[in-house]
Amino acid sequence: MKLESVKLAYFSPTGTTKAVVQGIAHGINPSTVELIDITRPAARKQPLQTSENELLIVGVPVYMGRVPALLNEWLNAIQAHNTPTVCVVVYGNRVYDDALLELKNIVTKCGCIPIACAAYIGEHSFSNSETPTAQGRPDKDDLNHAEAFGQKIHEKLQSISSTSQDSDVQVPGTYPYGGVTELWTVDFIAVSDDCSQCGTCAEVCPVGAIDPENSNLTDTGKCITCCACIKNCPQNARSMKPGLVKDASVRLHTLYSQRKEPEFFI
Ligand SMILES: Cc1cc2nc3c(=O)[nH]c(=O)nc-3n(C[C@H](O)[C@H](O)[C@H](O)COP(=O)(O)O)c2cc1C
């Protein structure tokens, strides 16, 4: 199969998923890459249509061992027609449970043909300088791995004449899925006097939970605890209050300090 164009769809509040899927696309080296960043709410209002003449790469972070539930509507609305597809999950060095299987099953129902799947490690959303977990990942080795995976995808596409020739890619996981789809509803963000009300936090929030006129106001009912607002604050004015999320950050740092490596299935 000769595919000139790649559609790269990703949800990436703190940027690690984006970095991984871009690394994979780099290895595939197509003539054109269309970035479909579904991190912001407005972008998830545009449904994705794709054909068998292009390669689709879908990347999502793992939340509680699952595909983030807020993406279900957009993912399930993908209109594909035998589109060769690469499924990628990025997790914070704890576990990815059944998330890769879940993503693969979702896109298959939409008419995609998964030809390769992978799980990569990204710095944990709850990681910070005091209690780091998978800090700085994906790092150079991870991105080299992603590029090499992209080259393998390129070779696989060259070796088959159509997706119907491909056998089902097997990934770890079981159905019914484990993990949890309901996220914590928790007031965990502290805003210091260094906040200049620049509005960056509201801009980067993937669920519109922060008042653009007043950065001190976060709607805890909407917040998905992704920490994009903390990690993107130019003044470093946002941090975790003591409580559930901060405790989780300490726990992750203690229990998941041993480096895990990326895995791919092709
Ligand atoms: C609500 C929430 C739940 C998470 N659950 C898991 C998990 O079950 N396993 C894991 O290893 N990492 C988990 N993470 C960490 C993210 O999967 C990881 O940091 C990922 O790299 C974030 O992607 P992003 O940089 O594209 O936002 C979770 C993060 C959040 C915010």
Ligand 1 binding pocket includes 90 (Cβ within 6 Å): yes
- Report which protein residue has its CA nearest ligand 1's atom 7: 64
**Residue 81: which pLDDT band, with cuts at 50, 70 and 90?**
very high
Atom of ligand 1 nearest to the CA of 228: 27
Ligand 1 binding pocket includes 225 (Cβ within 6 Å): yes
- Report which protein residue has its CA nearest ligand 1's atom 26: 12
Mean per-residue pLDDT for 151-161?
A: 94
Q: Which of 81, 23, 13, 95 is nearest to 57 (CA)?
A: 23
Q: Which of 98-102, 157-161, 230-234 has the lowest mean pLDDT?
A: 157-161
Structural tokens at position 33:
């890459």
Q: Which of 111-125, 159-173, 199-213, 246-260 has the lowest mean pLDDT?
A: 159-173
Contacts of 116 (CB under 8 A, 6+ apart): 86, 87, 149, 152, 153, 156, 169, 264, 265, 266
* pLDDT tens column, 21-47: 999 999 999 999 999 999 999 999 999
Check if the beta carbon of residue 125 is closer than 8 Å to that of residue 226: yes
Mean per-residue pLDDT for 131-146?
A: 98
Ligand 1 binding pocket includes 148 (Cβ within 6 Å): no
Q: What is the pLDDT of residue 163?
A: 82
Confidence (pTM): 0.98
Ligand 1 binding pocket includes 95 (Cβ within 6 Å): yes
Q: Which domains are present in the chain?
A: 5-177+260-265 (3.40.50.360), 189-242 (3.30.70.20)
**Residue 207: which pLDDT band, with cuts at 50, 70 and 90?**
very high
Q: Is the pLDDT of residue 165 over 80?
A: no
Atom of ligand 1 nearest to the CA of 93: 11
Ligand 1 binding pocket includes 133 (Cβ within 6 Å): no
Q: What is the pLDDT of residue 161?
A: 85
